[in-house]
């Protein structure tokens, strides 16, 4: 599967903005509630892709299609129901193609009582997307009442393996600050690319850049980081620091210079 332009020399930095439906607008402020602001960040920061739900793509496609590759997330779950997590498809692959997506995305809650429904739906999506030569990115988040700890190395490796075995081209999982263990996580993704998710409210200083260096050294292929970019007051500086680590193999002390 051709991953260009979402991967450059095998590496990628992706800007997700699918949080409204997932978390409610509590992640937003008066600036970043405007999708255009975040799309412009994706363009200025030369991200490898911007990720959103179909509705955002539908309303804003004209502007960003020319300038940043698009990943349309095909499923979503809301914030209110207190049930075992399930994320259900709301946009077809065909519609994503019409909206000129360069890839499609899907979330699986591994370990949920509903995982088999997501496995089944995702399998069909992979088949359809590959018929259109569209790469597929899967977010695999272990979650639900049977998951005691979603950040053990074993469960992250299981998440990575699930993405590979279900046919994803790219698997997005969390990082658990276990550099040595993470090599095992990456190995379990096999020929699928493994990228790391951002998370809420991280202080993007030396400690965080060290983690990025560590998971890149463990074999990750990049990141999909949202809130810590578009909630930041210096998003483009952070972007440059992350890019230096991901694409230029920079040392942490050199990446830190971008934050000054
Ligand atoms: P962040 O970098 O902001 O954490 O975004 C990554 C992401 O996977 C989004 O694509 C998604 O909307 C969100 O996190 C899901 O968060 P949660 O772990 O709370 O379900």
Ligand 1 pocket, 139 CB below 6 A?
A: yes
Written as six digits, the tokens of 245 are: 């680590």
| Integer angstrom CA distances of residue 252 from 134, 207, 218 | 34, 9, 15
When pLDDT is averaged across residues 71-81 and rounded to a whole number, the result is 97
Q: Does pTM top 0.85 for this prediction? A: yes
Backbone φ and ψ of 201, nearest 5°? 40, 50
Residue 141 annotated in active site:
yes
Please give, one letter per residue, the 3-state secondary structure of 177-224.
CCHHHHHHHHHHCCCCEEEEECCCCCCCCHHHHHHHHHHHHCCCCEEE
Whole-number Å distance, alpha carbon 18 to ligand 1 midpoint, is: 8
Average pLDDT over the chain reads 95
What sign has the CA pseudo-torsion 109, 153, 15, 124?
negative
Query: Which of 197, 225, 232, 239 to probe ligand 1 with, by most ligand atoms within 8 A of CB?
Result: 197
Domains of the chain, by residue range, sit at: 12-259
Residue with CA at minimum distance from ligand 1 atom 4: 199
Ligand 1 pocket, 226 CB below 6 A?
A: yes
Residue 208 annotated in active site:
no
Backbone φ and ψ of 194, nearest 5°? -110, 125
Superfamily of domain 12-259: Aldolase class I (3.20.20.70)
How does pLDDT run across 91-116, given as a tens digit for each residue?
999 999 999 999 999 999 999 999 99
Query: Which of 12, 106, 227, 228 to probe ligand 1 with, by most ligand atoms within 8 A of CB?
Result: 227
pLDDT computed for residue 67 by the predictor = 83
- Distance of alpha carbon 118 from alpha carbon 114, whole angstroms: 7
Helical spans, DSSP H, in 70-195 = 93-98, 115-131, 153-165, 179-188
Q: Given a cut of 60, is residue 3 above it in pLDDT? A: yes
pLDDT computed for residue 1 by the predictor = 81
Whole-number Å distance, alpha carbon 120 to ligand 1 midpoint, is: 22
Least confident piece of the model among 50-64, 102-116, 228-242: 50-64
């Amino acid at each position: 599967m051709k991953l260009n332009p979402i991967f450059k020399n095998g590496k990628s930095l992706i800007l997700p903005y699918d949080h409204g439906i997932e978390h409610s607008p509590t992640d937003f402020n008066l600036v970043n509630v405007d999708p255009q602001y975040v799309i412009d960040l994706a363009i200025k920061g030369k991200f490898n892709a911007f990720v959103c739900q179909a509705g955002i793509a539908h309303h804003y496609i004209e502007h960003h299609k020319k300038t940043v590759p698009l990943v349309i997330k095909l499923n979503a779950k809301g914030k209110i129901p207190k049930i075992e997590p399930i994320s259900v498809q709301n946009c077809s692959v065909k519609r994503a193609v019409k909206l000129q997506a360069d890839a499609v995305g899907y979330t699986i809650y591994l370990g949920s009582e509903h995982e088999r429904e997501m496995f089944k739906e995702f399998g069909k999506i992979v088949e359809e997307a590959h018929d259109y030569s569209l790469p597929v990115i899967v977010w695999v988040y272990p979650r639900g009442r049977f998951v005691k700890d979603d950040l053990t190395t074993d469960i992250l490796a299981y998440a990575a393996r699930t993405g590979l075995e279900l046919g994803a081209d790219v698997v997005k999982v969390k990082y658990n600050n276990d550099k040595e263990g993470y090599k095992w996580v990456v190995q379990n993704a096999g020929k699928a690319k493994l990228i790391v998710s951002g998370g809420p409210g991280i202080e993007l200083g030396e400690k965080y850049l060290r983690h990025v260096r560590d998971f890149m050294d463990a074999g990750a292929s990049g990141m999909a980081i949202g809130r810590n970019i578009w909630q930041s007051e210096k998003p483009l500086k952070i972007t440059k620091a992350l890019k230096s680590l991901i694409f230029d193999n920079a040392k942490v002390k050199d990446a830190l210079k971008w934050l000054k």
